Structure 1
């Protein structure tokens, strides 16, 4: 099951036209608030590699909104997306910028789509290719600010459905972008495009959504590809769309029990493939099917109606399956577009809001306190009453809010107090906002310093959070291997970095200490820098305990670190102590 892919050999160079700087922002500059998409939107796919002008085709077809396919990296391992993975088509106002401006002037908009079948099979889907969650988020943010769009689509198929690390990175990046958008007054939606059976998503697609829930990543729309069933059965494609979509509705109802039926239907998208799909004549979507689906989707109130692809909406190749440029059935040009175009209606998407914290972390000594501001914002529709709660405070820590409810768009105070008995460590506190449209969360990471503000914190990594450790790209808290407990620290050494992870520790000045930890890996270095300099290393396939004596300087502050060596692979550390 797959959305018909861009084939790299067919790429042609797209003409580039400078966009108006007053409408598009590249790499910063004055932001222009993106207009949310209509509550119900028809947005067929535009094959971006063909050299066609999307604004011209949108005007000719009557499809005011387009899903632009696809963004992917040029090579596996890269964190930089390009249109179709073509380095000559970067994310820039000079590539599709003026065309998007024209589409907006005509009352439409675009939805950039990452991934697609080719990317998912070559390791060039962004989150499969890039192992740095922050870099993935930055790439999403660049697309948002360059084209000032209000929705990003993520087309996840085939190998990307089984890449659990990529799935987790992608959803973590979505959460980072949503927090960034909330803090900067932006409205951004994310949709997933996933293959389906005639009864709903397969387990692999459902797992993508479950991981999003685990990562507190809000998925606004789930698009299902109601074609390429690959079951060698006879199909009436319009009726199969209904059963597949009803199955998805039932799955989403279990995954998001707080949503109403209208909200659930309003978070679903349908993607058809016009005419004869790339499986063959057994899966042929006809004009009669299109009318059937249009009427049913309108009745149910689904969010997005789409098809693959705008350039195929013509009858130029009767009998041909899966062509890039025609449907394979007898039809007039733009017949399908004219059936689906009236689906676009309604104002902004249903009411929604965001929750963000400023600051999102803080460190206190036992007995101390910290404060933060809980900011809420209207991201769609109108303001709602948002009920607030905070959870996750450990023993010896109390977290309270200045208000139990606010109107979306206003703020509340968060106060955190600790007792002298609060155990050193790093603790995530979750602030949850609940409104009729659903629940949104934000996390405050509290670090309780060692007694009197001295000592190493989170030495066993059992909090599950890196804080207050900071790492070079790829550094993480992992569940295997571990020396004791259930977590350890990974320092990701590559050809270009040692992967160093470190934290600042305040100790008594001019005093002798010993840093100890259990380490594993090729060329694992344990040491201190800053106010003292000392280190030790080992190469071991099993856990080895290293001890590093050192004497603090006049400030008493040192940086404790773990790192590997260039090109030698990741190293691991656990149970760090300073005594």
Structure 2
């Protein structure tokens, strides 16, 4: 997924780059130092990114913030076509003990360490990411080895985004070089991990990111951690950043399960990392990661036993610029200095849950049913840690006229149950949140399902229910404060939708649809107003927008993912006034 970003958002590529020009694989200083084995990172590690270009001391800021581990950004070449890596692509900052070596030693003396990171947005955009720049696999591998041995590190991360995702030659060279480094490390008794830091959608990797992992597997390169950049979505939607982190990671888990079918659920979660951007990211206020989000993500990361927790970047962890987005030096929100570091720091440690634990998910996460009909979904359970336990399942929240049943009502963790929702003719149209809870002893986990009950006559719009709003009421649409069905202005019939954007909200109105998986659909509708956005998110991402004083027809195509679930939305923009929509449809 592409999106513009400043150098500050050059999030993660943890992979160490580089070697001097002319350094050959298995020769020179890298090979001579190969017998020194670095201390492995803990099973769980909090390692925020550190902006290495601004003159700060990583050891000093690590001590001040309490972040014992840092991801050092970034290593790249100085010019296109070069095979020589430098910190920040600056030829005055070579890969040598003279650059950061004393800082790294000080951090290790306090029980911490560093993860050198290759790439980042600037390198990926400018052709100076080393595998894009250098055409020799051996030279790339030698560069990685030099970083490993110069700084005695146990993990390299590859931050691959923007143009580097589309450079198939660079993708292939990088993974071939990683395989050579892993063979070299094994022959010399070293433990070296590789992490890939990749952009994400709210439901998992886009095709370009997944292709990087598929190429790694085809080249025999082991990927230890896949680190998602859970910010800068640039999809035109408002976001609950903590919830979007969880859905993005769950989507990645499913993608990794397809790629590595022999791995357990616990092992798959143990391959996942997430990197947040505290405060207002580069996109703007619609993508704001709050202090409350930090607590929610921390608790979720511990419960899922993921590998890596990070954020961009350590120098932003202060409240010095309220209202400013995408700054290199502050978060843009009111916060105590080092709040996010202090919240995430306890994550670093040897283990996750030692009890028998499990997860509960529902696929798809939403569905539509007409009165007199029924709909189904699958409740999935997975073992997170320990042994599989018996999980008793219950469902709550079904409205009057809807019967919800689970078959079976008890499963062994790792098993599935079918949720059936049967609507009587008397069931009232609307959108209803249901909760499926799985209990085992003192443990209890739950998952949410959104049920839409249509009006008896439907309401034109194909898969969209009440897309013409002629029922005179919102259901099954839900809106932020002030959203309503109105009688003027209208495009067709006698009703339309008003989304009330204000200084503090976009006025978003949404409806969740359960569509066919892996199928192409067309979203269309008539909109008017300043910055009127029409789009889908969730299992697919697509949007269009316009500013128009009169009705303007807008349309876009999208393809559903494996679940088929998407959320259709209409919203305006902050302080731009109410926008209107009518005759909204989704058709195949």
What TM-score do you get using the length of structure 1 for normalisation? 0.56
2:261 & 2:97 partners in 1: Cα distance? 41
Q: Match of 1:525?
A: none
Q: Match of 1:305?
A: 309
2:141 & 2:95 partners in 1: Cα distance? 14
Q: Match of 2:369?
A: none
Contact 1:2 1:157 in 2 (8 A): no
- In structure 2, which of residues 113, 126, 141 is the aligned counterpart of residue 122 of structure 1? 126
- In structure 1, which of residues 177, 200, 219 is the aligned counterpart of residue 223 of structure 2? 219
**Change beyond 3 A, Cα 1:187–1:4:** farther
Q: Match of 2:331?
A: 327
Q: Match of 1:209?
A: 213
Contact 1:26 1:92 in 2 (8 A): no
Contact 1:31 1:145 in 2 (8 A): no
Q: Match of 2:111?
A: 107
Instruction: Give 1:63-142 correspondences, 5 Å limit.
Output: 63-142=67-146
Contact 1:27 1:146 in 2 (8 A): no
**Change beyond 3 A, Cα 1:29–1:327:** same
Contact 1:3 1:225 in 2 (8 A): no
Q: Match of 1:18?
A: none
SS at match of 1:119: helix
**Change beyond 3 A, Cα 1:7–1:209:** closer
Confirm whether residue 154 of structure 1 aligns to residue 161 of structure 2. no
Q: Match of 2:479?
A: none
Measured against aligned partners, the alpha-carbon deviations of 1:135-179 in whole angstroms (never above 9, x if no partner) come to 000000000000000000000001000000000000000000000
- In structure 1, which of residues 261, 285, 291 is the aligned counterpart of residue 289 of structure 2? 285
**Change beyond 3 A, Cα 1:214–1:30:** closer
Contact 1:225 1:270 in 2 (8 A): yes
Deviation for aligned residue 1:31? 4.0
- In structure 2, which of residues 222, 234, 237 is the aligned counterpart of residue 233 of structure 1? 237
1:217 & 1:280 partners in 2: Cα distance? 37
- In structure 2, which of residues 47, 56, 61 is the aligned counterpart of residue 52 of structure 1? 56
1:280 & 1:102 partners in 2: Cα distance? 37
**Change beyond 3 A, Cα 1:200–1:125:** same
Q: Match of 1:5?
A: 7
SS at match of 1:68: strand
Measured against aligned partners, the alpha-carbon deviations of 1:298-351 in whole angstroms (never above 9, x if no partner) come to 000000000000000000000100000000000010000000000011169x9x
Contact 1:191 1:222 in 2 (8 A): yes
1:345 & 1:7 partners in 2: Cα distance? 27
1:155 & 1:7 partners in 2: Cα distance? 11
2:338 & 2:249 partners in 1: Cα distance? 25
Contact 1:133 1:169 in 2 (8 A): yes
Q: Match of 2:191?
A: 187
Structure 1 or 2, whichever has the larger Rg, is: 1
Contact 2:119 2:130 in 1 (8 A): yes
2:289 & 2:199 partners in 1: Cα distance? 16
Aligned residue-pair number: 333
Measured against aligned partners, the alpha-carbon deviations of 1:26-80 in whole angstroms (never above 9, x if no partner) come to 7734742101100000000000001000000000000000000000000000001
Q: Give the aligned CA root-mean-square deviation in angstroms.
A: 1.8
1:297 & 1:112 partners in 2: Cα distance? 23
Contact 2:34 2:149 in 1 (8 A): no
Contact 1:4 1:308 in 2 (8 A): no
Contact 1:43 1:64 in 2 (8 A): yes
Measured against aligned partners, the alpha-carbon deviations of 1:271-321 in whole angstroms (never above 9, x if no partner) come to 000100011111000000000000001000000000000000000000100
SS at match of 2:252: helix
Instruction: Give 1:402-421 correspondences, 5 Å limit.
Output: none
2:48 & 2:6 partners in 1: Cα distance? 13
Measured against aligned partners, the alpha-carbon deviations of 1:184-214 in whole angstroms (never above 9, x if no partner) come to 1111000000000000000000000000000
**Change beyond 3 A, Cα 1:6–1:73:** farther
Confirm whether residue 272 of structure 1 aligns to residue 276 of structure 2. yes
1:96 & 1:235 partners in 2: Cα distance? 38
Deviation for aligned residue 1:108? 0.4
Contact 2:51 2:72 in 1 (8 A): yes
SS at match of 1:78: coil
Deviation for aligned residue 1:6? 5.2
1:266 & 1:306 partners in 2: Cα distance? 15
Task: Return structure 1 stretches of 4+ with deviation > 6 angstroms.
Answer: none
What TM-score do you get using the length of structure 2 for normalisation? 0.55
SS at match of 1:198: coil
**Change beyond 3 A, Cα 1:229–1:322:** same
**Change beyond 3 A, Cα 1:218–1:39:** same
Show structure 1 runs of 5+ residues with no match. 9-24, 351-579
Contact 1:67 1:112 in 2 (8 A): yes
Contact 1:42 1:65 in 2 (8 A): yes
2:277 & 2:179 partners in 1: Cα distance? 31
**Change beyond 3 A, Cα 1:56–1:27:** farther
Contact 1:6 1:84 in 2 (8 A): no
Measured against aligned partners, the alpha-carbon deviations of 1:457-512 in whole angstroms (never above 9, x if no partner) come to xxxxxxxxxxxxxxxxxxxxxxxxxxxxxxxxxxxxxxxxxxxxxxxxxxxxxxxx
Measured against aligned partners, the alpha-carbon deviations of 1:113-138 in whole angstroms (never above 9, x if no partner) come to 00000000110000000000000000
